[in-house]
Homo-oligomer: A and B are copies of this chain.
Amino acid sequence: MKQEDSLSTLSLAILGLISQNPQSGYDIRKVFSTTPLGHFSSSPGAIYPALRRIEANGWIRAAGRREKTGRPRTVYQITSRGLAVLKRHLSQPVTRGHIVWHMDDLMLRFAFMDQIVGREKTLRFLRAFASEIDAYVPILRSYLKSATDTLPPCGRLAMEQGIAGYEMNVQWAKRAAKELARGARDSRKERS
């Protein structure tokens, strides 16, 4: 037993990819090693055991070996339980803890969110993301101000880099929300 709703970052990436379309371990490795999503593992020693774990939890299942072309592959597809877990994970609220310690997980959630839980929730996510950071940045700033005398110059600059990163994320999230909202309006228009 275990299998709570919690997903490691790698499991999230794999489950998200498989949810988009069924694929094999090799396919996933290629995505990780050839696309910029590949700030991930991509090593067989990470991927295949992870697939086993996810399968053991009943979140994916092997759907037929081998293609017509020849070499045996194992293509996995997501199960309904897997989809439920993914949805739950993607629906988690954005907390300060996520902002500070799990930014990578947040971005991954965002990347899959639209297709799994819909545009509406994605927009809410972006707003929560931006406002959590907005609340956090002043704290960092005030720490920086209070420590600026005791900090070595490079320590201060390193902190400024961190703050600049957070501010960039706020700007990005606002822009992204605008674009996605516009996209939603457009597609409503198209449908009508």
A residues with a Cβ closer than 8 A to B are 20, 35-36, 39, 100-101, 107, 110-115, 122, 140, 143, 147, 152-155, 157-162, 164-165, 168-169, 171-172, 176, 179-180, 183
B159 touches A176 (CB 8 A): no
Q: How many copies does the complex hold?
A: 2
- Tell me which of B107, B122, B152, B168 contacts A168 (CB under 8 A): B168
Q: Separation in Å of the A184 CB from the closest CB of chain B? A: 10
B114 touches A39 (CB 8 A): no
Q: Separation in Å of the A32 CB from the closest CB of chain B? A: 12
- Tell me which of B140, B154, B162 contacts A112 (CB under 8 A): B154
The list of the 3 closest CB pairs from A to B, nearest first, reads A114-B154, A111-B158, A157-B176
